[in-house]
Structure formats: C-alpha cells, structure tokens
Amino acid sequence: MTQQIAVIDYGSGNLHSVAKALERAGNCKVQVSGDPDAIRQANRVILPGVGAMGDCMAGLKHRGLDELVLDLIGRVPLMGVCVGMQILTEFGEESSGVKALGVFSGQITAFPKCMVAVDDSALKVPHMGWNQVQKNAHPMWSGIADATRFYFVHSYRYADSEADCVVGVCNYGAPFAAALAREGVFAVQFHPEKSHQAGLELYANFLTWDGTC
C-alpha cells in the first residue's frame, strides 16, 4: 500500500531533502505541508527541524501545529528528526530556555565546553559528522547493524542516555541519546536524510512501522 506521509512544514529547515529521501526509501507519497487538515489525512507524519529549538517551537506554535502534533500521537506513527526530536522533550536550554511539547520527559542541554577525546584532542562543537549509534531493541532498527554511522549536526543534546525512552545512544565526549521512542513515536537526533544508505533504511522502516515499541 502506498503510504501517505506528511512532512510538517512550520518554516524550518530543509524539507526538500526529507521528502526526497522518503520517496527514495520506499513506496510512499510525500506531502510537505503546514495545513492541519492535510497533515491529518496522512497515515504517517514526520516532524523535522533545523536551526534553533526556540525558533522551531515558535514556528510550530505560530501555526497552531503544536496542539496538532500532540493530538497525532498514538493515532499515526510519528517520527521526529533533529530539532524535531528535541522539541518532543520537555525543555531546552537553548535561546535562554524553551518550553517544549513534553512527549518525552527530560531536557535538551548544550554540549559542555572543552570536551576532549580519548587522544586528548579537543572535541569541537557543533558535533558535526558521522558517528556511531548503539541501538537498543526497537523495530525501527530492523536490518540496521549496531554501531552504524549516521550524520549528526547539533550543539545541544539529550544527555540522559539511560532514560527509559532512549533507544539509541551515541558518544561524543560522553554518551547522549541518538534516538528516543515511545508508543507511536520514534525520534532521532541525527539526520536520516543525510545518512546515505543507513538513513534510507531507517526511513524505509518507518514506512512499515506499526508504531509499537
């Protein structure tokens, strides 16, 4: 069955890439839209996000889409990407404090300054590039090897890598959450649409995921 995917457009980021990657990943029809009615008609929804968490949250609220996202949870499978994952948590310390949607407990904080690698070299922020994800059991990881590399670019992260909702862990200076999940929601800090084959596989899994953990 052709999946009807809505990529929520609230004025953030590179939606073109997300849509193209989904279309490449499998049989689906993608609509990039900020229209609540159009989004409600989809049987799967992507919440993307690029840039500052405060701007993303404001953009979502301005269009009245914050309520819609909360309403979709449990009705259709929802996938958050990058800042789209971050705004599903409770709070972000970026832009002098951002109250977020609270779908997941926990908050988003900055990478500490002056982190060092095992060889004592300084770790740069943003955390930019291909890093490995240790996966916890979840159907969305089907067919993806443990320690697969995905493309990250971010300066803030979900630091509590041992929280119950964490289903993927990355390490940069210290462990942090690469993926969060609960019933009906799977969210990643990295960019599947920029993660070559591994990212396309993850999107392909999303197209068939039934929403269970």
Partner 1 sequence: MGLAKRIIPCLDVDQGRVVKGVQFGDIRDAGDPVEVSRRYNKDGADEITFLDITASHENRATTYETVSRMASEVFIPLTVGGGVRNTDNIRDLLLSGADKVSINTAAVFEPEFVKRAADKFGSQCIVVAIDAKQVELNRWEIFTHGGRKSTGLDAVEWAIQMVEFGAGEILLTSMDRDGTRDGFDLGVTRAVADAVTVPVIASGGVGNLDHLVAGIIEGHAQAVLAASIFHFGRYTIAEAKACMHTAGIEVRL
Residue closer to partner 1 by CB (options 135, 154) is 154
In whole angstroms, the minimum distance from the beta carbon of 98 to partner 1 comes to 14
In whole angstroms, the minimum distance from the beta carbon of 132 to partner 1 comes to 6
Residue closer to partner 1 by CB (options 1, 118) is 118
Residue closer to partner 1 by CB (options 45, 133) is 133
Is position 193 annotated as part of the catalytic site? yes
How would DSSP label each residue in 21-90?
HHHHHSSEEEEEE--HHHHHH-SEEEE---S-HHHHHHHHHHTTHHHHHHHHBTTB-EEEETHHHHTTSS
Is position 114 annotated as part of the catalytic site? no
User: Cβ distance 183 to 211 under 8 Å?
Assistant: yes
Cα separation, 61 vs 34, in Å, equals 11
Element (H, E) at 128: strand 127-135
In whole angstroms, the minimum distance from the beta carbon of 22 to partner 1 comes to 11
Is position 16 annotated as part of the catalytic site? no
Long-range pairs of 115-121 with CB within 8 A, sequence gap ≥ 24: 115/172, 115/173, 115/174, 116/173, 117/173
Determine which one of 82, 94, 154, 201 is catalytic. 82
In whole angstroms, the minimum distance from the beta carbon of 55 to partner 1 comes to 8
Determine which one of 28, 165, 193, 201 is catalytic. 193
96 φ/ψ sector (left φ>0, alpha ψ -120 to 50, else beta): left
* Binding residues vs partner 1 (CB under 8 A): 13-14, 16-17, 20-21, 24, 50-52, 55, 113, 117-118, 121-132, 147, 149, 151-155, 171-172, 191, 193-196, 199-200
The set of catalytic residues is 82, 191, 193
